[in-house]
Amino acid sequence: MKQRAFVLALLSLLVASFAFAATVKPPVKQVEAKKVCMINEHYMQKDQIAVQVEGKTYYGCCDMCKQALAKDASKRSAVDPVSGKKVDKAAAVIAADAEGNVVYFENAKNLESFNAQK
């Protein structure tokens, strides 16, 4: 039963990530992770609050985001829109569109491929 709930939660994350990524259109440009609220998925143009979890650094804009990153592992990952693979936000290549919406990639090559899409 627990395994089934885990699979359903993972599928929900995958669907939500694809839906979000679909709203971000090319071109996007790579940004520094420390300037991104990883809960609001937005580039903030200033350094955010660092959250250390298991030796990795995530970023949030407020105490509520900080707590969510620390307590909820699902908030620390996203899906690369090019490969469809789950990526750790602390290790991802992050890019933002002109409105500040961010998308996470497993590598710079996937960011380039995303920008090549029309």
Tell me the pLDDT tens digit for each residue of 74-98. 999 999 999 999 999 999 999 999 9
The span from the CA of 92 to the CA of 77, in Å, is 9
Residue 5 has pLDDT above 60, yes or no: no
Q: What is the pTM of this model?
A: 0.80
Task: Give the lowest-confidence range in 6-10, 20-24, 61-65.
Answer: 6-10
Residue 20 is predicted with a pLDDT of 46
Band of pLDDT at residue 35, cut at 50, 70 and 90: very high
Q: How many CB atoms lie within 10 A of CB 92?
A: 22
Cα–Cα distance, 114 to 31 (Å, whole number)? 15
Phi-psi region of 55 (alpha: psi -120 to 50; beta: other; left: phi over 0): left
Q: Which residues contact 93 (CB under 8 A, 6 or more apart)?
A: 30, 104, 105, 106, 107, 108, 110, 111
Gyration radius from the chain CA atoms = 14
